[in-house]
Amino acid sequence: MLNPRTSRTFSFQVKYPAPEIGSPVGFGLNLLIMLIIPAIDLRGGQCVRLRQGRAEEMTVFSDDPVATGLKWQAAGARWLHLVDLDGAFSGSPKNLEAIRKLRQALNIPIELGGGLRTLDTIKAYLDLGLDRLILGTVVLKDPDLAKRACAEFPGKIALGLDAKDGLLAVEGWTETSRKTALEVAQALEPFKPAALIYTDISRDGVKRGVNIGATRALAEAVEIPVIASGGVSTIADIEALLPLEAVGVVGVITGRALYDGSLDLAEAIKLAQKD
Ligand code: AMZ
């Protein structure tokens, strides 16, 4: 039997791309599917990973974001998570050329965050063909703008809730606020953001395992689909997250583990598509 949360999750997941006939992501019933979403973080046009978001602890994994994106797409990814790190640190979009090229080269949907701080920028990136935009800093610093964006672009705005010791961080994670992910998510829930992307900063880029407890607590407290992020290291982390699909965790973002090979994307996708 489908429970309401599962069907909500399901309709969210099958929206893009149209499921192929015979695919395990077809309109069959009772499938529990979690999206495994590969991440590309851009700095100076290159694919990089930071440790716990610190700009000075950066590893360059590739100078060819399009090749990287095509690789994840070929491995079966159904979404790409893209972060304009220069944008997040500076407060306005950078890396436009790389983002444009990725959008042109890939046919899977792309979500983008980093430096999206005005309605005009949001509109410009949607016009570029990006499928979902992630708002971080403005959610805390200008919640009215975040609410307007959710209302004006239904289904297109995700909230990036990035927590350091339980409190949300903004401005490239260089500033910590006094608010928790839970209270901010509940305050914006009436404006129907498409998803909450919850990152435990202390785990991001250090492969310590996902913060299952905090991710579950957030998903249980709201009706908005939740995507977990930060800490994935091996297939065991994916396995540990799968039960959270029942409470509305619809996906997990992974970066460093894919780049260094400790997680195989195709294998993780296969595991997450089992019914
Ligand atoms: O790694 C970091 N220091 C970092 C990062 N990955 N800082 C911000 N971000 C990401 C957030 C979200 O996707 O996870 O940038 C986006 C938020 O950007 P902004 O400009 O809206 O705060």
- C-alpha span between 274 and 208 (Å, rounded): 25
Q: What is the DSSP letter of 19?
A: P
Rounded to the nearest integer, the mean pLDDT of the chain is 90
For the chain, the helix, strand and coil percentages under 3-state DSSP, each to the nearest 5: 40, 25, 35
Tell me how many degrees the CA angle 96-103-75 measures, rounded to the nearest 5. 125
pLDDT band, residue 274 (cuts 50/70/90): confident
DSSP 28-80: -SS----EEEEEEEEETTEEEEEETTEEEEEEEEES-HHHHHHHHHHTT-S-E
pTM of the model: 0.91
As a whole number, mean pLDDT of residues 68-84 equals: 98
Q: Does the structure show a pLDDT above 50 at 77?
A: yes
Residue 10 is predicted with a pLDDT of 39
Q: Is the dihedral of CA 19, 23, 29, 30 positive or negative?
A: negative
Q: Which residues are catalytic?
A: 41, 162
100-114 residue pLDDT tens: 999 999 999 999 999
Domains and CATH numbers, the chain: 23-274 (3.20.20.70)
> Residue 88 C-alpha to ligand 1 middle, in angstroms?
5
Atom of ligand 1 nearest to the CA of 204: 1
Rounded Cα gap, residues 95 and 137, in angstroms: 18
| Alpha carbon of 22 to ligand 1 centroid (Å) | 37
For residue 161, the CA-to-ligand 1 centroid distance in Å is: 9
Q: What is the maximal distance between C-alpha atoms in the chain?
A: 50
pLDDT tens, residue by residue, 123-167: 999 999 999 999 999 999 999 999 999 999 999 999 999 999 999
Name the DSSP letter for residue 205.
Answer: T
> Do 158 and 133 touch, CB atoms closer than 8 A?
yes
Closest atom, ligand 1, to C-alpha of 135: 21
